[in-house]
Amino acid sequence: MMKEINTERAENYDLVIVGGGMVGISLALLLAQQQPEWKVLLLEAQAYGKSGKQQHHPSFDSRSTALSWSSRKIFQAAGLWSELESHTSAINNIHVSDRGHIGLTRISAEEAGVEALGYVIENRWIGAVLLGRLATTSVEMMAPERVAKITPLKSGVGLTLENSGETIQTSLLVIADGANSQTAQQLGIHSDQQPYGQQGIIANIGLQDAHDGVAYERFTDQGPMAMLPLPDFDGSPRCALVWTQPPERAAELMAASDEEFLNALQESFGYRMGTVQKVGERVAYPLALTTASEQVRRNVVVLGNAAHSLHPVAGQGFNLSLRDVATLADVLGKAKLSGADFSSLETLEDYQQQQLADQQNTLMFSDNLPKLFAQSSSVVALGRNSGLVMMDLLPSLRSRFAKFGMGMANKEAGHGS
């Protein structure tokens, strides 16, 4: 039998974050910096490895993330950028191409007027840096821990914890436990899932030649693929591969020997990046657009993949969520300063309103890109080719595409300028 919440004895928090992945920890760190007096608790279902470097943690795994310019600005303001940057490789140029067709466009940092178009970092390093910093803050952490029961209270929310059996209460519950959130479901918040019928295979690839900070986005009939520049390992150049494929082909590629996999990759990608020499651990992710039926309620916010999980082709999922995180931290801080209830529906709706356009535009961009290139009819192929060719000819269109990738298309989000 579950205990009922005894509100007099229960430990009281300003904010409890469920899910200590990239998004949950980023919010905890921004709040620790901006509202150090707040009592914040982070609950994470999986234990972290030593210094957060464990490879198989669901968020800090063997994937790599392309951080946009907007993410750089947010991490910079939080005093985290210099440490993160030492583990990144800057993207100086992006090549977008369409296999078997003539369309090709190039976007350069110089033309876009920025130092870099993005920064690629392995997720394990994001984990190591963020968790290292978290240990220096007053944020409390319980891992492994989950929420067994959520009880709406007159003011705030009561939580019964699964492992410890403890009951606690909080003014604001932030749900950041990933796509198809179990915690949101406990509150009747459902996720709408639209599968793409594709898997995203990721792996680190050893290259013969230096990559010179060039990222390649290539659209093939089976699905898009990206090769992103990574920092060298033991003096050897590397890149991070994201290769989308239908499930049957993905299963073949996952089962293939390293040599077979590299041959298939070289065949599909060509020699733009030179010869591919080595492949690291391969992991396949089923791809779907997942959106939560609600993002805010009185005393509750849904964030990160739990709110919206996108196709990785445009590398936007975490970057968008980090802009959500920065806006939420800002709105909560301003409400507190003005003496308003920071967990009221009004305050939380203000947050949602501020992020609405950014979320809608980014979702549309990430959803349309793979669909457009998935269609192999000659009319669409002609359209997409002339689109790419036109982009190459029209600097303003290209710079708009670049700005989108950098998280600067939504000026109202305020983190890109």
Cβ–Cβ under 8 Å, residues 387 and 103: yes
Give SS3 for 325.
Answer: helix
Contacts of ligand FAD in 140-179 (CB under 6 A):
146, 176-178
Say whether residue 191 binds ligand FAD (CB under 6 A): no
d(CA 245, CA 197): 9
d(CA 45, CA 147): 9
Q: Which of 30, 43, 328, 409 binds ligand FAD (CB under 6 A)?
A: 43
Q: Which of 13, 28, 44, 229 binds ligand FAD (CB under 6 A)?
A: 44
For ligand FAD, the closer of residues 293 and 376 by Cβ is: 293
For ligand FAD, the closer of residues 319 and 354 by Cβ is: 319
Determine the interface stretch with ligand FAD among 62-70, 100-108, 334-342, 387-395 (rule: CB under 6 A): 62-70
Say whether residue 122 binds ligand FAD (CB under 6 A): no
Cβ 197 to ligand FAD, closest distance in Å? 15
Say how many residues touch ligand FAD, by CB under 6 A.
35
Q: Which of 29, 30, 31, 63 binds ligand FAD (CB under 6 A)?
A: 63
d(CA 181, CA 146): 12
Q: Which of 242, 289, 374, 402 binds ligand FAD (CB under 6 A)?
A: 242
Say whether residue 103 binds ligand FAD (CB under 6 A): no
Q: Which phi and psi angles does 404 have, rounded to 5°?
A: -60, -50
Cβ 185 to ligand FAD, closest distance in Å? 10
Bridge partners of 64, per DSSP, are 122
Measuring CA to CA, which residue among 59, 60, 54, 43 is closest to residue 163? 43
d(CA 92, CA 103): 20
Q: Which of 55, 151, 285, 336 binds ligand FAD (CB under 6 A)?
A: 285
Q: Which of 14, 31, 42, 59 binds ligand FAD (CB under 6 A)?
A: 59
Burial of 99 (0-12, 13-18, 19+ CB in 10 A): middle
Cβ–Cβ under 8 Å, residues 370 and 224: yes
Contacts of ligand FAD in 344-383 (CB under 6 A):
none
Helix pair angle (378-393, 345-374), 10° resolution:
110
Say whether residue 66 binds ligand FAD (CB under 6 A): yes
d(CA 155, CA 188): 19
d(CA 163, CA 142): 10
Determine the interface stretch with ligand FAD among 249-257, 258-266, 267-275, 312-320 (rule: CB under 6 A): 312-320
Q: Which of 184, 202, 205, 331 binds ligand FAD (CB under 6 A)?
A: 202
Determine the interface stretch with ligand FAD among 55-63, 104-112, 210-218, 345-353 (rule: CB under 6 A): 55-63
Give SS3 for 347.
Answer: helix
Q: Which of 5, 17, 23, 159 binds ligand FAD (CB under 6 A)?
A: 23
Say whether residue 112 binds ligand FAD (CB under 6 A): no
Q: Which of 5, 14, 15, 21 binds ligand FAD (CB under 6 A)?
A: 21
Say whether residue 40 binds ligand FAD (CB under 6 A): no
Residue 248, sorted as left (phi over 0), alpha (psi -120 to 50) or beta, turns out to be alpha
For ligand FAD, the closer of residues 69 and 335 by Cβ is: 69
Task: Please report which residue ranges of 256-309 form alpha helices under DSSP H.
Answer: 258-269
For ligand FAD, the closer of residues 241 and 388 by Cβ is: 241
For ligand FAD, the closer of residues 289 and 335 by Cβ is: 289
Say whether residue 200 binds ligand FAD (CB under 6 A): yes
Copy the structure tokens of residue 237.
């150049």
Cβ 343 to ligand FAD, closest distance in Å? 20
Cβ 59 to ligand FAD, closest distance in Å? 3
DSSP 193-253: EEEEEEEEEEEEEEESS--TTEEEEEE-SS-EEEEEEEEEETTEEEEEEEEEE-HHHHHHH
Query: Would the CA dihedral through 404, 405, 406, 412 be positive or negative?
Result: positive
Burial of 195 (0-12, 13-18, 19+ CB in 10 A): exposed
Say whether residue 321 binds ligand FAD (CB under 6 A): yes
Say whether residue 224 binds ligand FAD (CB under 6 A): no
User: Interface residues with ligand FAD (CB under 6 A)?
Assistant: 18-24, 43-46, 58-59, 63, 65-66, 146, 176-178, 182-183, 200, 202, 242, 285, 304-305, 312, 315-319, 321
